[in-house]
Amino acid sequence: MPTPREQYFFLKRNDRGEEYIESFDEVLVLPIDQDGSILFARESAPAFGGGPVLVLPGGTVETRESMADTANRELQEELGLRAGRLEYLGELTPWSKYLGVRSHIYLGRDLTASKLHGDEPEEVGMERVPWNAVESMMMSGHLRDARAIAALYRAQLVLNSQHQAGAQQ
Residue 1 lies in a domain: no
Residue 40 lies in a domain: yes
DSSP letters spanning 50-94: T-EEEE--EEEPPTT--HHHHHHHHHHHHHSEEEEEEEEEEEE-T
Residue 2 lies in a domain: no
Count of other CB atoms within 10 angstroms of residue 114: 13
Distance between CA atoms of 38 and 52, rounded to whole angstroms?
A: 17
The number of domains in the chain is 1
Residue 163 contacts by C-beta under 8 Å, 6 or more apart in sequence?
A: none
Q: Which domain holds residue 138?
A: 9-168
φ and ψ at residue 117, rounded to 5 degrees: -75, 130
Burial of 26 (0-12, 13-18, 19+ CB in 10 A): buried
Residue 17 contacts by C-beta under 8 Å, 6 or more apart in sequence?
A: none
Strand partners for 19: 13
pLDDT values of the chain reduced to their tens digit, one per residue, 169 residues: 444 456 677 888 889 998 888 878 889 999 999 999 999 999 888 877 777 899 999 999 888 999 999 999 999 999 999 999 999 999 988 777 777 788 999 999 999 999 998 777 778 899 999 999 999 999 999 999 989 999 999 999 988 888 777 777 7
Residue 84 lies in a domain: yes
Domain with residue 28: its CATH number is: 3.90.79.10
Residue 3 lies in a domain: no
pLDDT for res 5: 52
Residue 18 lies in a domain: yes
